[in-house]
Amino acid sequence: MKFKNMIAVMGLASSALLLGACGETRTTGIEPKQMADALHMVMESDRTVYTRMIVNRLAVEEKVIKASEHWKDDKALVLPAQMFRYGAEMVAEKGANFSYSLLSLWPVNKQNSPKTEVEKTGLKYIADNPGKNYYAEETLGDSNYFTAIYPDTAVAKACISCHNDHKDSPRSDFKMGEIMGGVVIRIPVES
C-alpha cells in the first residue's frame, strides 16, 4: 500500500473510531468493510509489535521475565491474547459502536470458542484459505452487523510455545506463520 493511501486509511479509521465512540450508527463515506479492514490493520500491527518486541524478546530470547496467563500472581508479562482482550473490553467500556475479539477453533481458553454460525463458518474459512479474510452480515438479537474475520497467525516463537505447551490447548503442533485463530470485528449496520 502506498504511503498516501495508508495515511488516508488511517485517517478514515481514526474518524470512524471517534464517530463510533460517540454513538453514531453510521459513519459518513466509510463502508463497513473499509472500516473493519483499517481497524484490523491497526490491531494486527499493535499485537504483532507487542508479541515480537516485548513478549518474545523479554520472555523467550532474553529470559528477563516470563509471560503468563496468571500475570498478576506471577509478576509476569500479560500474554498477547490477554492484552488484546483487555483492549477490546476497554473499547466497549468507552461505548464504541463496534466490537472485536480473538477467537479460535482450537482455543486454549474455552471462552474464545466461536459461538455464532458466522464465527464458526468464518474461522473455518480462514483456516482453509490462508491469506484470505471472511466477510458476512449477521443478525444478533435485534441488531444487524457487518462481521469481518481475519486470520491470526503465529508471529513469534512465544506464540507457538505457549499454545503448544499449554495444558488446556487442544493442539500441540502449531508452527510459525500458521493460522491459530481469527480476529472478529463487528460493526452495526442498518438493515
What is each CA distance from 40 to 43, 121, 141, 145, 151, in whole angstroms?
5, 19, 25, 16, 10
Task: Give the mean pLDDT of 23-47.
Answer: 84
Regarding predicted confidence, which is higher, 91 or 22?
91
Q: Cα(164)–Cα(76) distance, rounded to whole angstroms?
A: 19
CA angle in degrees (0–180, nearest 5) for 159-42-56: 25
Read off the pLDDT of residues 57-81 as tens digits, 9 standing for 90 and up.
Answer: 999 899 999 987 889 888 989 999 9
Read off the pLDDT of residues 101-158 as tens digits, 9 standing for 90 and up.
Answer: 999 999 888 999 999 999 999 999 999 999 999 999 999 999 999 999 999 998 888 8
Burial of 72 (0-12, 13-18, 19+ CB in 10 A): exposed
The domain ranges of the chain are: 3-189
Q: Give the best-scoring range by mean pLDDT among 13-17, 18-22, 157-161.
A: 157-161
Amino acid letter, 33: K
In this structure, what C-alpha cell is assigned to residue 50?
507487542
Q: Cα(127)–Cα(50) distance, rounded to whole angstroms?
A: 24
| pTM of the shown model | 0.81
Q: DSSP of 110-132, one letter per residue?
A: GGGS--SHHHHHHHHHHHHSTT-
Q: What is the pLDDT of residue 19?
A: 47
